[in-house]
Structure 1
């Protein structure tokens, strides 16, 4: 059984605000084959999103590892981040294809220039586990629930339900952003829960967090 699950990687470019305009021009100039900068689409995306932030859209040619794709850099005060990568044709990118496009952009466009302007690049791991998303306390409580629970009945047994609630409360208290999709995948792919029960538990998790947040606010 896999110990980690494959995920879409996140990337941020962060550095001095006064150098961001210089970085912007350098990124555009660095986009040579198999990459190119799409000015018209960049302006269109910014208009449609109704944002004043800088939006840069780059196109990448197809390779043996991925189809032709578009990558967006979205401006933030300290630099840029990649909110999404999409295929140029219909359909969607697999985790490995998405990450291959991101790696190509990093190597071909970003890495050769960022240090010149005092910027640093942070990129998340392509394969992750629950410890990458949660504190030790919350991760331990989730593993305790999953290891002890009857996987055919979910959290219906009183003791299982107590352990399940302990996990949810720990996540809420820590303000952690796990996400129901990642939780469902972890339960199913790593812990061996059947897919339907994993999604049911993830839905219950999301509803419980919403209720706890509403309680705190009222």
Structure 2
């Protein structure tokens, strides 16, 4: 499944500031730093904020224009929090990731060692195995491929396989969210959107019930 990439730069605040100062001096070919947008953000946001940088990417044949926002919301961690389109209403995942990749490859990657920083950039494509454990993935796949996609979990055998998946997700403390479950069911397995949403509601309710049972149910 395609996802939005994330980029974080980690190190001392002074080193992060030095990196962005050098990046600013290197920006070319339509790339620029928008200090007016940065100042407006600081003015509009209540309370103290850490370092904020806004880098404008040009509209090219590879991607539309966009503003890359980097913020130090956690001391020593400067992260891309959003890329806002400037030449269209909305960026697709591919367009968002193309802007982020060009920014990183063109201006960041060669400077991180010089400024004694580390970086973390996440992939643009993930699988279920990247999100949760193999047992839970196996049980979800078994349910999805054996179930009648028009009736969801209503058939007794399908319900058993569905419950087995939810219990496994609970036992293994799966980080699989309802949003990612819906996307996997519809984009990978071909479930109808309405049925995928119904299953996601059942999944969320089941996880919540099991968590409540762990905390309180056994005492009753």
TM-score by length of 2: 0.84
2:161: which partner in 1? Answer: 163
1:13: which partner in 2? Answer: 9
Aligned CA distance change for structure 1 residues 87 and 217 (closer, same or farther; 3 Å): farther
- Cα RMSD after superposing both structures: 2.4
Q: 3-state SS of the aligned residue for 1:116? A: coil
Q: Shift of the alpha carbon at 1:64?
A: 0.7
Aligned CA distance change for structure 1 residues 153 and 72 (closer, same or farther; 3 Å): same
> What is the total number of aligned residue pairs between the two structures?
214
2:29: which partner in 1? Answer: 33
Contact 1:180 1:202 in 2 (8 A): yes
**Residue 197 (str. 1) matches residue 195 (str. 2):** yes
Aligned CA distance change for structure 1 residues 156 and 48 (closer, same or farther; 3 Å): farther
2:124: which partner in 1? Answer: 126
Aligned CA distance change for structure 1 residues 191 and 27 (closer, same or farther; 3 Å): same
Contact 2:129 2:137 in 1 (8 A): yes
- Aligned equivalents of 1:33, 1:202: Cα separation in 2: 46
Q: 3-state SS of the aligned residue for 1:128? A: coil
Runs (5+) with no aligned partner, structure 1: none
Deviations 1:194-218 (A, max 9, x none): 2221222223323433444555566
- Aligned equivalents of 1:78, 1:57: Cα separation in 2: 18
**Rg larger in structure:** 2
- Aligned equivalents of 1:163, 1:90: Cα separation in 2: 44
Deviations 1:82-114 (A, max 9, x none): 222121145211121111101111112211311
Q: 3-state SS of the aligned residue for 1:13? A: strand
**Residue 100 (str. 1) matches residue 111 (str. 2):** no
- Aligned equivalents of 2:45, 2:165: Cα separation in 1: 37
**Residue 59 (str. 1) matches residue 56 (str. 2):** yes
Contact 1:15 1:79 in 2 (8 A): yes
